[in-house]
Amino acid sequence: MAELLRTKARKPQYCSLGPVAFLLIMIFLVFVGEAAGKPISLPGVTLPRYSVFQGHLPIRMVYPQPKVLKPSRKDVLVLTPWLAPIVWEGTFNIDILNEQFRAQNVTIGLTVFAIKKYVVFLKLLLETAEEHFMVGHEVNYYVFTDRPAAVPRVALRGGRRPLVLEVPGAARWQDVSMRRLGMISSFCAQRFLHEVDFLVCTDVDMRFRDHVGVEILSPRVATLHPGFFRAARRAFTYERRPQSRAHIPRDQGDFYYSGAFFGGSVAEVQRLTAACHRAIEAAWHDESHLNRYLLDHKPTEVLSPEYMWDERLLGWPAVMEKLRCVAVPKDHREIRHR
């Protein structure tokens, strides 16, 4: 025993360099990966891709602590029965969301149809989008039009580009309304899946008036129709003919969604538009089919009417703390029939 103790006492003591070496290798690879703008993966370890906008590690953010017993809004519904958020002013922190989406380096596509005389609304929409829509993120503006020469030139921020997609016109505005879903579906397969991460689809006769950002990005997004967000389901203008694929019985329905502003991941938008355009003309055209689809395939996020409003017809009620996207006044007969 004494000899054993003497042997242990004489045994040299080593300091393991394994953890230190591993840490130094990780730090080295972080800086190499940062220079390449790519995430770094080691066995059992994943290091995040850092913000290409910041050029350094994510900043340490300081913001008010969420209060479990203090709801963000008490005057409106902020969560659907299937646990999808309903987005109102005061329900999100855009700084947190921006950091998360910038780290993912997302690109957003905005689709708009400027057919026939509707091309006159395009300049205002694009100019206000540059001021309020997805500021700080990369955006592709997909302009579907039968008049490419009439598409206006608008000064754009870096990382944002207009892409004109020439499509045939139509004799009736109803045909444009129905056919646009088929066109969006086709272009999702042809190019959108390869060019952007999310799609937002809006009418051209609108203008952005306040912030519209990454808080609206989710796999399947719908917007509450401004004319029906207070109404009972029996008042919704769903398609009521049983022979129509868009038919919704009077005892069914969650909300009435607007066909003028919807979106989601490209894959989800492709599924939605493909399902909606193969149908007979319904009471409210593509909007009727959109509502049928979203009854069966619930939105993962619902936008409040802040994101689609008509101040001229509806005023500015107190529940609307902001009006983010609003209708442009127009003469429907003049625009639609020429």
Can you name the residues that pair with 327 across neighbouring β-strands? 206
Tell which residue, 169, 167, 171, has the closest CA to residue 186: 167
> Is residue 180 helix, strand or coil?
helix
HSE, CB side, 13 Å, CA atoms: give it for residue 333: 0
HSE, CB side, 13 Å, CA atoms: give it for residue 31: 5
Copy the structure tokens of residue 218.
Answer: 């989710």
Which of the residues 130, 215, 239, 287 is marked catalytic?
A: 287
Q: How far, in Å, CA of 199 to CA of 34, rounded? A: 29
CA dihedral over 326, 221, 196, 116, signed as positive or negative:
negative
Q: How far, in Å, CA of 336 to CA of 338, rounded? A: 6
287 is catalytic: yes
72-92 per-residue burial string, b: 16 or more CB within 10 A, e: under 16: eeeebebebeeebbbbbbebb
Tell which residue, 225, 295, 306, 219, has the closest CA to residue 263: 219
> Is residue 148 helix, strand or coil?
helix
- DSSP state for residue 328 in the 8-state scheme: P
Residues with Cβ within 8 Å of 284's Cβ and at least 6 positions away in sequence, in order, are 237, 239, 259
Judge residue 37's burial from the number of C-beta atoms within 10 Å of its C-beta, 0-12 exposed, 13-18 middle, 19 or more buried.
Answer: exposed
Q: How far, in Å, CA of 216 to CA of 94, rounded? A: 11
Copy the structure tokens of residue 12.
Answer: 């040299």
List residues with catalytic annotation. Answer: 287
